Structure 1
Amino acid sequence: MRAIGIILAGGKSNHMGELSNKRAIAAMPMAGSYRSIDFVLSNMSNSHISKVGVFIQYNAKTLNEHLSSSKWWDFGRKQGGLYVFTPTITADNSFWYRGTADAIYQNLDFLKNSHEPYVIIASGDGIYKLDYNKVLEYHIAKKADITVVCKQLEIGEDAKRFGVVKENQDGRIIEFEEKPVVTEHNLVSAGIYVIRRRQLIDLIEKSALEERYDFVKDILIRYKNIKNIYAYQLESYWSNIATTNSYFKTNMDFLKKDVREFFLKQYPDIYSKVDDLPPAKYNLGSVVKNSLVSSGCIINGEVTDSILFKKVYVGNNCVIKNSIILNDVYIGDNSYIENCIVESRDTIRANTTHVGEGEVKIVVEKNERYVL
């Protein structure tokens, strides 16, 4: 493909509570065996983008470990490859990334040293499948300066936490409002952009000179009446996981057969780092209904409408309903968990009850399971 990829994965969400204390949003576990960033990385690989830069900052340790080998997404190549960029103190700069545009500016050499004519920019917290070649074809056909991938939300979904877009009959964006207080529109930006590489360099350099650091506010919104900015509508599944409720709902969507088959069985595939773990073990007396159970799990109790990530132990007489249990959790005997997200590496003591009343409860046990 005639484009390089940039994945913006350095952000922190203030709407994920204790879940974002350990990791960046792009490193959030998804669908039992994946991380959020796996979906955009797989889209890049499946679109034959051979050179991808990942810009990380907040709580980067988990994400760095996950990206330690590029082979899982087929980026281990002589030409191209997967590049991970963190903020670096230099003689000219001593700042962390002050925004998405500033993250690109601090790594502008990555763009200048590339030769591909186009750039695909995507956030690391979107769950979707997309062939970026189709977006690029649309971008070229419209003679656009920037193309924004957009998604029409269903009636009742909260559009106010996104960039809300209004387009004319030709598809050109005429209004773009970032996280409005009130809106009547439900066409939102999916955080995916196509732009010519040379033009991106010029816009980023100009923004830096003016001390403007946000790609959406200081480039897309500022230039919407000057540049030809078009909307490309994504028709298939898309979700953003930047809040606790959206993270919970998106994971639970994988319990629906059509969503699960779309991502896990239909070509092209979603790739992730593979751990060498034994298959899940269901002991005598265990009951599992409509759930995703990952490798390394041992089940003794009852699991219903839930997602269990890797290496989860469920004790005798336990009941887990409508919950997400993250990696490496030990659940003691006779425990009851409903409508919860249990943080990774937790130990739930025997005879414990956790129930989310009305909204999802995040369970974080501050106990010392791993001691020297």
Structure 2
Amino acid sequence: MRAIGIILAGGNNHRMKELSQKRAIGAMPIAGSYRSIDFALSNMSNSHIQKIGVFTQYNARSLNEHLNSSKWWDFGRKQGGLFVFTPTVTADNSYWYRGTADAIYQNLSFLKSSHEPYVVIASGDCVYKMDYNKVLEYHIEKKADITVVCKDMPIGANVERYGTIKMNEDSRIEEFEEKPIVAKSNTISCGIYVIRRRLLIEMIERCAMEDRYDFVKDILIRYKNQKRIYGYKIKEYWRNIASVEDYFSTNMDFLKPEIRDYFFKQYPDVYSKVDDLPPAKYNVGAKVSNSLISSGCIVNGTVEDSVIFKKSFVGNNCYIKNSIILNDVYIGDNTHIENCIVESRDTIRANTFYKGEDGIKIVVEKNERYVI
């Protein structure tokens, strides 16, 4: 493909509460065995984009560990590769990334040293499948300066936390509002853009000269009347992990057979870093219904309508319902967990009761697992 890829995975989101205290949103576990950034990386790989830059910043340790090898997504045999950029102190600059445009500006040499004519920019916190080649073909056909991937949200959805757009009959964007107080449209931006590489360099350099740092506010909204900015609508599954409720419902979507079939049984595939773990083990007395149980888990109790991530242990007479158990959690005997998200590496003592009454409860227990 005649494009390089940029994945923006550096931001923090306070609506994720305790879940984002030790990891970036791009590293949030999804569907038992994946991270949220895997979907953007897999889309890049399946679209034959060979050169990818991932911009990380906030709590990037687990995300950097996940990205320590490009082989899982098949990037860069002899050309291209997977490049991870974190903020660095230089003679000219000692700032952290002050916004999405500033993140690109601080790594502008990555764009300038590339030869591909186009750039695909994506967010690292969205769950979806997409062939970016189709967006690029649409971009060229429309003779667009920038193409924004967008989606019509159902009536009544909370679109005020997204960027909302209005298009004319030719799909050219006429209005673009970032997180409006009252939305005038239910069409939202999906945070995926196609732009010519030279134009992007020119715009980013101009933003930096004027002390502007945000890609949406300072490029898309500012230039909407001067540049040819078009929208490309998608109808397929797309979710943004922007809050605890979004994260919970996105994982619960994977309990639906049609969603699992779409992501895991239909071409193209979704790739992730592979851990060499044994298959899940169900001991005598275990009862599991409508749940995802990942590799390395041992289940003794009852699990209903839940997602259990890798290397978790469920004790005897436990009852887990409508919950998400993250990686490497030990749950003691006779424990009841309902409507909860249990943080990774937690140790839940025996005879414990947790239930989310008014929404989803986040459980963070750091008890010592092994006592000498």
- Tell me whether the two structures share a fold, i.e. TM-score over 0.5: yes
Aligned to 2:308: 308
> 1:40-189 to 2 correspondence within 5 Å?
40-189=40-189
Instruction: Write out per-residue CA displacement over residues 230-261 of structure 1, whole angstroms, 9 at most, x where no aligned residue.
Output: 00001100000111000000000000111111
Aligned to 2:204: 204
* CA displacement at 1:371 relative to structure 2: 8.3
Aligned to 2:246: 246
Counterpart amino acid of 2:66?
A: H
* CA displacement at 1:19 relative to structure 2: 0.1
CA distance in 2, matches of 1:302, 1:110: 51
Aligned to 2:293: 293
Instruction: Write out per-residue CA displacement over residues 194-226 of structure 1, whole angstroms, 9 at most, x where no aligned residue.
Output: 000000000000000000000000000000011
* Contact 2:348 2:367 survives alignment (8 Å): no
2:339 pairs with 1:336: no
Name the SS of the counterpart of 1:135 in structure 2: helix
Instruction: Write out per-residue CA displacement over residues 84-139 of structure 1, whole angstroms, 9 at most, x where no aligned residue.
Output: 00001100000000000000000000000000000000000010000000000000
* Contact 2:51 2:76 survives alignment (8 Å): no
Q: Percent identity?
A: 74
Unaligned ranges ≥5, structure 2: none
Counterpart amino acid of 2:220?
A: L
Aligned length: 372
Name the SS of the counterpart of 1:174 in structure 2: strand
Name the SS of the counterpart of 1:43 in structure 2: helix
Give the direction of change, closer, same or farther, for the CA distance of 1:233–1:12 in structure 2 (3 Å limit): same
* CA displacement at 1:366 relative to structure 2: 3.0
RMSD of aligned alpha carbons: 1.0
Name the SS of the counterpart of 1:39 in structure 2: helix
2:348 pairs with 1:348: yes
Give the direction of change, closer, same or farther, for the CA distance of 1:49–1:371 in structure 2 (3 Å limit): farther
Counterpart amino acid of 1:267?
A: Y
CA distance in 2, matches of 1:270, 1:337: 30
Name the SS of the counterpart of 2:15 in structure 1: coil
* CA displacement at 1:10 relative to structure 2: 0.3
Any runs of at least 4 consecutive aligned residues in structure 1 with deviations exceeding 6 A, and if so which?
none
Unaligned ranges ≥5, structure 1: none
TM-score, with structure 1 as normaliser: 0.99
CA distance in 2, matches of 1:34, 1:302: 24
TM-score, with structure 2 as normaliser: 0.99
Name the SS of the counterpart of 2:7 in structure 1: strand
* CA displacement at 1:358 relative to structure 2: 2.3
Name the SS of the counterpart of 2:258 in structure 1: helix
